[in-house]
């Protein structure tokens, strides 16, 4: 049984880097981690989905945001 993980990303650069196997001079410092991740994307263990930045649920835990956006995301994940 093949288990897959869904990753939702709102950064276009990160999406492109995960899907297209080419390194640039400014990304060579992530070479080992990148290749490990890219291998999982290629073999289907990780599935990357583009998501609008206003819908990124992880942002509620990692950055400051306007009151309305905070309550919108809280409602989406049913915190209260």
Domain containing 43: what range?
Answer: 5-77
Our count of domains for the chain comes to 1
Please tell me what DSSP assigns to residue 39: H
Judge whether residue 67 has pLDDT over 60.
yes
**CB neighbours (10 Å) of residue 4?**
11
Confidence of residue 80 (pLDDT cuts 50, 70, 90): low
Q: What is the pLDDT, as a whole number, of residue 66?
A: 92
Please name which of 38, 43, 47 lies closest in space to residue 8, comparing C-alpha atoms: 47
Q: What is the pLDDT of residue 37?
A: 77
pTM, 2 dp: 0.66
DSSP codes of every residue in 20-33: S----GGGGGGHHH
Q: What are the tens digits of pLDDT across the range 21-65? A: 666 666 666 666 666 777 888 888 888 899 998 888 888 888 899
* Four-CA torsion 21, 39, 42, 40, nearest 10 degrees: -140
């Amino acid at each position: 049984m093949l288990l897959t993980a869904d990753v939702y990303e709102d950064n276009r650069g990160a999406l492109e880097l995960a899907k297209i196997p080419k390194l640039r001079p400014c990304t060579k410092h992530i070479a080992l981690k990148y290749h490990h991740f890219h291998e999982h994307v290629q073999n289907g263990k990780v599935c990357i989905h583009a998501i609008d930045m206003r819908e990124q649920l992880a942002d509620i835990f990692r950055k400051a945001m306007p009151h309305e956006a905070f309550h919108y995301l809280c409602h989406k994940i049913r915190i209260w």
